[in-house]
Amino acid sequence: MQETNLYSKIIAGTMTWGSWGKQLSKPQMIDLMNYCLEIGITTFDHADIYGDYSMEKDFGAAFGESGIERSKIQLISKCGIQMTSGRNNAVAHYQYDAAYIIWSAEQSLKKLKTEYLDLLLIHRPSPLMVADEIAEAIQKLKADGKIKEFGVSNFTPSQIAMLETKIPVSINQVEFSLTHDIPMYDGTFDDCLANNRIAMAWSPLGNFFRAENDRNTRIKNVLKDLEKKYDANTSQLILAFIMNHPAKVFPVVGTTSKQRLKDSLNATNINLELQDWFILLEASKGEPVP
């Protein structure tokens, strides 16, 4: 597995900072950025579509006035989803021709007030994507110093293999949590481990706090004892579960709460005992591990 100091172990997800969530003001965004840096969260995850294409601009305006040195942070963005809201599209779709990818990345740079992205991700796979087109765009963006690394989000191993006939893929960011553990079984993390690919996880707490169901009740009952044993709260243990996977997953944490951000960072120090990890897995599955 690739070891990197480029990204902070906890990544701050910005999707709900703006109009899709907390609607933070510019001073509030500046304050939150500075707090993240104070505690050691230096990586910020974006996508062009967040806030109906407005979040990057709002973040960039705050960053531009924050006084934070660009070299002190890492900026991730994604491109390729064309929505009907925020743009004059007749239908939601994906667009991955070389010219569009370059244009989209350049728009992100302009909005974020930066000369480069540390990482650009293709947001979701399209049935019409052509590896040559994507490779052409990424090679041009790298050559021009506009992106440092290239990766994908929500891709299967076979889709990555198709792209890698033309361009190396450094990272795959996928949905992964105690309540959504598919990447452990569909080859996604096997691919990361086998190919020295970084794994990132969006929605790392899953639906635990959003849904009342039998699975979450089982998990809650197990966590009561583990919270005492590890002197940790529920969120920290759920994060520890995914970070204890051999793929060394980087969680993208979407909270704007300072306390929850600090708790998330502290979760990186929790080493779950082997049987406790499987106790959580069993609670999630609702049956003994076969």
As annotated, the active-site residues are 50
Dist. CA 130–CA 94, nearest whole Å: 12
229 burial class (0-12, 13-18, 19+ CB within 10 angstroms)? exposed
User: Considering all CA atoms of the chain, what is the largest pairwise distance in Å, rounded to the nearest integer?
Assistant: 55
Burial of 169 (0-12, 13-18, 19+ CB in 10 A): buried
183: Cα within 13 Å, side-chain hemisphere: 31
Residue 286 in contact with residue 215, Cβ under 8 Å?
yes
The three-state DSSP-derived secondary structure of 125-180 is CCCCCCHHHHHHHHHHHHHCCCEEEEEEECCCHHHHHHHCCCCCCCEEEEECECCE
- The single residue listed with the structure tokens 């009740």 is 217
Q: How many angstroms separate the Cα of 188 from the Cα of each of 134, 174, 218, 220, 253? A: 21, 9, 26, 27, 20
Amino acid at 32: L
The 10 Å Cβ neighbour count of residue 269 is 12
Question: Closest by alpha carbon to 11, among 198, 157, 165?
Answer: 198
- Measured CA to CA, the distance from residue 15 to residue 6 in angstroms comes to 21
In a 10 Å sphere around its CB, with 0-12 CB exposed, 13-18 middle and 19+ buried, how is residue 3 labelled?
exposed
CA dihedral 4→8→10→16, nearest 10 degrees, is -120
